[in-house]
Structures are given as structure tokens and as C-alpha cells.
A and B are shown apart, each in its own frame.
Chain A
Amino acid sequence: MSPRSFLLLLGATLAAGCGAEPPSSGNSLALELSISRAVADDLGAFQVVVLPEGKSRRCADIQRTCLNQQVQPQEALVLQGPDGKKGRALRFPAGLRSGAQELAVDVPVGRDYVVVIEALSRSNPPRFLGSSCNYLESVSAARNEPLIAAAITLTEVACDPSFAP
């Protein structure tokens, strides 16, 4: 093959790789968006659970499905909400503003935690709509830095994330 013909072939190959995406790709994206929007409309609450021994946990595994299927209820720390209510899993009604929501929980003072936030559907019983797993190095009785949780990607999984009281 002469150098000129090789360059022509290379140019043709590159040109074929550029340009607009094929129509099938656009359909797929639209479908995903519509599913995601539907799930977002179904979002009813967030459930916060804190686990000890954070370094030994695998966030990738935790986020796949409901946390209650992966840990014993008594493993979770007892938390306290701003209203004084205590529980191993605290629920907060969803109230997203610009895709974010701020809340606060009282966590036992200590180190090496994992904070798992699960998105719950409005249905009864609720369905798991995705979760966020975040390592929390320490909690002190004084001021603690805000935890900016990893973003939750809403995807429906058929399980009930409710923790036994």
C-alpha cells in the first residue's frame, strides 16, 4: 500500500467515526431520561443509616440494593433526628431544591463510620430508588464539618429498605 492510499484510508476511517450519533443512541438516552424522571417523581423520602467500621465496608456493594439486606439492623448506630426522635434509620421527607437537600442527624461520637443515604419511593411499602455511601472519618461532640454526600443516581430496585425499629 502506497503512503498516499494509506492516508486516504485513514482519513475516511476518521471521518466515519465523527459526526452525529446514530439515531438509536438518541432513543436510548430519551428512554433513560423518561425513566429517571418517573423515578424522581416517585421519590418520597431519604433514609439515613450510619454504620461503624467504615473502612471495612465496600460502598460499591452497599449501593447495589437495600442496605437492610446486607447488614443486621443492630449493626447500625442509633441516630437522633433534629426533632429528638431516635432510630437506627432516620427518614426525612424528600424536599429537593436544585437537586439537593440539607438535613442534620445526631451521630454517636466516634470514628470510622459510613453514612448510607437511601432514596425511598412514596409507595407503601416503600421501594428502594438508589443510595449514596459516604465515609465519615470522625464525629465529635463539638462542631462537625458538613458531609456533602455523593450524588444518588435514581434507579428502582425491587426491595423494601425499611429497617426494623
Chain B
Amino acid sequence: MSVRRNRVVASIVVASLLSPGASLARPLFPSPLLFQVAPARPEIARAQQQISDGDFEEAVKTLEAGLDAPDVTDDQLVELYRLLGLTSLYLGDEARAREAYEMLLQARPDYELPRTAPPKIRTLYARIKEDIKNRRVRPVTLQVDPIPDAEGGTPVMAEATIQDMALGARARLFYRRAGAQAYSSVDFTRDRANKERFIATIPAYELPATASAYEVEYYFEVADAAQRRLAGRGDAFNPLVFQIAPEPGTVATSSERPWYKSPWLWVAVGAVAVAGTAGAVVYATSEERGRVPITIRVNP
């Protein structure tokens, strides 16, 4: 009886050693779901190896180098942040792990950790997801100065400071010559030296020098992958304006403002608005009444 039992136990042990899927040991890198597979990237492979070797500090450096690379795809970013979160937890840096998982979730709100992920990671991940659901994650903040008036025929550069930029989000500068129907746009690019500093440039050919001055309407917008506005200054209906000066040597003429920017028009609109408001107030304060039938009763 005991011989048979020993034989059964031995066969289970051998089978588990031969088959990784049946092994009792948890793999360090559980295979992700098929739809979450990211394309291979040297930094990812190298970081995985460094994590396997227990060289976590080097792994963090490798991952940060991977995140700084200019040609990283969204899938690769997700994988880089996932590994960065994992490595940071191994190093006991929960704050950085949290930051990494937040970035991951901002890019892929539906991302799920593999079921085989360590419980500590799963707990932290669940907490972060809950925070995001309850909107406790810091919003994107955009600080940008208005574009000053410029010379024609020269590029115009806008600098912005964007904090807590969501992964997968785009910061763009929209612009159009005043009176034109559609906006063009240029992307803000991240400054290599300062991760919160972004620069966008309107090319010179979009701002030709002309005999008379003209205005350019513009606005800034940070939007997520679903084109939801996360932050901005101005918008398509309430744009900011800068002016392109007339070509040197030409007789200065008054800027060609579109009809709707005429001050007289807005004086008239203001007068109408004041009159309308006054009318509304008069109407609201007029003694409009309603008849209320009342039955009075007296106790006998």
C-alpha cells in the first residue's frame, strides 16, 4: 500500500518538473494574454533578464531608457510600465510602482494583470484601479503662456508645461488664420531634458508675411486616445489670438479683423444683452400670480 502511494507521489513530482504549466513554482513573468502581447523591444527583453537575475536597479535604468526612446509604440509603453511597476515593488518603492501602474492604466483602462501575478502586485493594482474609478488620480495640468505677436515668414514656437500627462494622450496646438473655417494642428513634443516641458512649432510656411497684418486664432488641447479633452487653453469656439505683423517696408494698415471681431458689433451685442437681461429681470420680478382656491374650516 505504502509502495503504491510513494510511486504516485513520485510520478506527480516528475510530471510537474517536466511540465512548466503544471509546476508548483510561480513563473516570474507569467505569459500575458494574447491580446496584451507587446512587440519585442531590446530594452524589454534586457529588463526581463535583469529582473530574472535579481538586478532590479539595472532593470529600472533599462526600463527608463526604453521609456525615453522616441519610437516606442503604445503596446511597448504598456509593457515597459508593467515591468517598471513590478521592479519598483521588488525594490520596495511603492510610490514609483503606483506611478507606473497609473500610467499603464491611463493608456489601457481595460488592462488586467495576469491571474498568476503575485498577490502584492494584484492588491496594489486593484487599489489603483479603484482610485482611478473614484477619480482620485491627479488630473492632467497644462500651463502655457499665450503666443506673442510674431513676424510673418518665421516659425512660431509655443512652450507648455504639462504635469501628469496621461499615457496615450496627445497635446496639440490648433491654429487657423482668422476667418478660415478649419483648424490645423501641430503636436507638442516632450523635451528630452525636462519631461514636463513640451514644445509645439507652427511652421513658417503657415504664417506667410503679407502686406497687411492678420490674426491667427489658436488653442491648446490635451486629449486622451478617445479624443476626450483632458486639459486645454481656449477652444475651437473661443480661441486665443496672436497677430502676424505686416511685411517690413509696406505701409502699415489696420489689421484685417473679421466682421465678428469689430468692436462696434460687440458694443451692439452688449447693449442687446443688457436690454435682454433687464427685460428678463422685469419679467421675473413682475407680479405674476396664480389663483389659489382656499377652503377655510372652523372646528365646531
Contacts and interface: CB of A to CB of B under 8 A. Distances in A.
A78 B292 contact: no
Contacts of A153: 298-299
A105 B298 contact: no
B287 interface: yes
B299 A105 contact: no
A106 B290 CA distance: 5
A159 interface: no
A158 interface: no
A106 B291 contact: yes
Interface string B261-283: 00000000000000000000000
B164 to A, nearest CB: 44
A80 B293 CA distance: 12
A147 B289 contact: no
A119 interface: yes
Nearest to B290: A139
Interface residues of A, number: 38
B297 interface: yes
B290 A141 contact: yes
A133 interface: no
B296 A101 contact: yes
A60 to B, nearest CB: 16
Contact of B297 (A36, A140, A152): A152
**Could you say which interface size class chain B belongs to?**
10 to 19
A104 interface: yes
A121 interface: no
Contact of A148 (B287, B295, B298): B295
A146 B295 contact: yes
A76 to B, nearest CB: 14
Interface in A21-70: 36, 40, 43, 46, 48
Contacts of A154: 298-299
Nearest to A100: B297
A148 B297 CA distance: 8
B290 A109 contact: yes
A163 B290 CA distance: 22
A146 B294 contact: yes
B53 interface: no
B287 A147 contact: no
B299 to A, nearest CB: 5
Nearest to A96: B298
Interface of B: 287-300
25 contacts: A78-B287, A96-B296, A96-B298, A99-B297, A99-B298, A101-B296, A102-B294, A102-B295, A104-B294, A105-B292, A105-B294, A106-B290, A107-B289, A107-B291, A109-B288, A117-B296, A141-B290, A146-B292, A148-B295, A149-B294, A149-B296, A150-B297, A151-B298, A153-B298, A154-B298
Can you list the 4 inter-chain pairs with the closest CB atoms, starting with the nearest?
A: A106-B289, A146-B293, A151-B297, A139-B290
